[in-house]
Amino acid sequence: MLKTLIDAFALISTWEVIIAMCAASVYGLVIGSLPGLSATMATALLVPVTFYLSPIAAIATIVAASSMAIFSGDIPGALLRIPGTPASAAYADEAYAMTRKGQAELALGAGVWFSAVGGIAGVLSLMILAPPLAEIALSFSTFEYFWLALLGLMCATLVARSSPVKAIAGMFIGLLVSCIGIENPGGVPRFTFGITDLFGGIEPIPALVGVFAVAQVMRAMLTPEPPPLPRRKFGSIMAGQWKLTRKYHWQMTRGNIVGIIIGVLPGAGADMAAWVSYAMSKRFSKEPEKFGTGHVEGLVEAGASNNASIASGWVPSLLFGIPGDTIAAIAIGVLYMKGLNPGPTLFTEKASSMYAIYLMFIIANILMIPLGIAMIRVAAYILLAPRSTVMPIIMLCCAVGSFAIGNNMFGVVTVAAFGIIGYVMEANGYPVAAMVLGIVMGTMVEQAFVTSLIKSDGSILPFFERPVAAILAAMAIGALLWPVMVWIWRKVKPVQTAAATSR
């Protein structure tokens, strides 16, 4: 234990890791604060850079950039009422109302402080939850993996803020994309249409860059430019935060816990955590009438929640290769590339690397406080950059980055194609996160499914025989039938009430 901890310290205390972490923090803060550029996009554009770093430094950049970007989305939310990332959308109104009351410092300070606290709570959950779960997961057979993967996919569709049918359709599209190539049980070219470039399949990373970055540039083409930030002087940012922590410690803890749970659920990430926590805070508040008029309580809870979900999203990713959110989906791609293949054995064989990840999360969240304060002070200057200068650079990064993944122009074609797919899906209410999950998990789902079918030799019984498999199966089938039951319930209920009143 102590030896692994020392090893982990040795792993992260190299110049490469320290520089990578600082640079990625600044990068995450800047991208997160620019409206329209999300934390997922920041992480996706980082991937080509991580190719050229050591494994630990590569993970350090992702950890630092994603944590920082989620916080810094609060800055334009509070000052402009335009959330920098979707994760800040839930409470942008509230924070802006505080700014109009002259409490911008308090709102932004709460953003930094409770983000950092939430982030650290998330890491603690990762440290506590992951090792025992890894013990259990070691005895999993393909049947359990199959149900687990199915459950993960179903979760993503249940939590989507959209029609569950469309979410399931999006997931199927993602799974279909993962079918392309020769990496299948028969080793035959599947859906390649004779195109050699498709033999290797569709790489998840260019697909993610297309869906999250190119589609965003496409949307920017049709939406008006956000207004510039009014320049202002800030007072002390951290003043009063300790008082808030004492006053709202229960709300903060609840936000942390909700964020951790939502982070662990596959497909649901920081934005969902913030929405749920904000709603919860209002529901259980002693003074709900103050919400919406610039009340800090909701900010505390939601701010603590969205950052907690970032670290806990790594729990299913590291254990099973099932991404807890879209950022973790990218992280999984990087983990595979760096030879840290997700799985329960990671915690026994590469324990020092795991401790290094925990430590980096803690450091990133501590680093967030000074860097975040600095960022708030210079945000007015960064937000002066017009969108017409930022978007072209992102386009170039998309082109060069997707080329760099395989030194192959086909990556650029993939990015362009998935930009269009992502844009059309988003415009028509199909959640792209569900598709992304399908692409990332497709190969694993198919492998578990086909291997289980072969092992069961045509019988359906082995899918339910083992106790853990049976529990997971019940949960997955329940999740699958849930929208149907709600639909039937809604159809039947009006009839019943009508019958009751007529009687």
Partner 1 sequence: MRLPDSVTGSFLVVLGVAAAYGGWILPPVPGQPVGPNVFPLVIGTGLALCGLAIVFGIGHSFEEEEELIPLEDGQAAAAPPPPGKLYGLRALLPPALLLFYVFAADRLGFIITAAIMVYITTTALGAKWKLALPLAALSPFAIHLIFGKLLRVPLPAGLLPTPW
Please identify, using beta-carbon distances, which residue of 117 and 173 lies nearer to partner 1: 173
Report the nearest approach of partner 1 to the CB of residue 127 (Å): 33
Report the nearest approach of partner 1 to the CB of residue 119 (Å): 28
Please identify, using beta-carbon distances, which residue of 181 and 333 lies nearer to partner 1: 181
Report the nearest approach of partner 1 to the CB of residue 146 (Å): 12
Beta strand segments in 230-276, E: none
Report the nearest approach of partner 1 to the CB of residue 112 (Å): 24
Please identify, using beta-carbon distances, which residue of 131 and 483 lies nearer to partner 1: 483
Please identify, using beta-carbon distances, which residue of 196 and 388 lies nearer to partner 1: 388
Tokens describing residue 65: 């950039």
Query: How many other CB atoms are found less than 10 A from the CB of residue 503?
Result: 5
Please identify, using beta-carbon distances, which residue of 234 and 403 lies nearer to partner 1: 403
Report the nearest approach of partner 1 to the CB of residue 310 (Å): 25
Tokens describing residue 274: 């913030």
Tokens describing residue 120: 């650290």
Handedness of CA 14, 19, 24, 29 (dihedral sign): positive
Please identify, using beta-carbon distances, which residue of 314 and 423 lies nearer to partner 1: 423
- Shortest CA distance to 299 belongs to which of 130, 98, 497, 91? 91
- Alpha-carbon distance of 478 to 485, in angstroms, equals 10
Q: Between the CA of residue 293 and those of 230, 290, 298, 384, what are the distances in Å? A: 21, 6, 11, 28
Residue type at position 426: E
Q: What is the largest distance, in Å, between two alpha-carbon atoms of the chain?
A: 79
Report the nearest approach of partner 1 to the CB of residue 181 (Å): 10
Please identify, using beta-carbon distances, which residue of 62 and 134 lies nearer to partner 1: 62
User: Which long-range CB contacts under 8 A does 281-290 form with residues at least 24 apart?
Assistant: 281/251, 281/254, 281/255, 284/254
Report the nearest approach of partner 1 to the CB of residue 191 (Å): 6
- Alpha-carbon distance of 142 to 445, in angstroms, equals 10
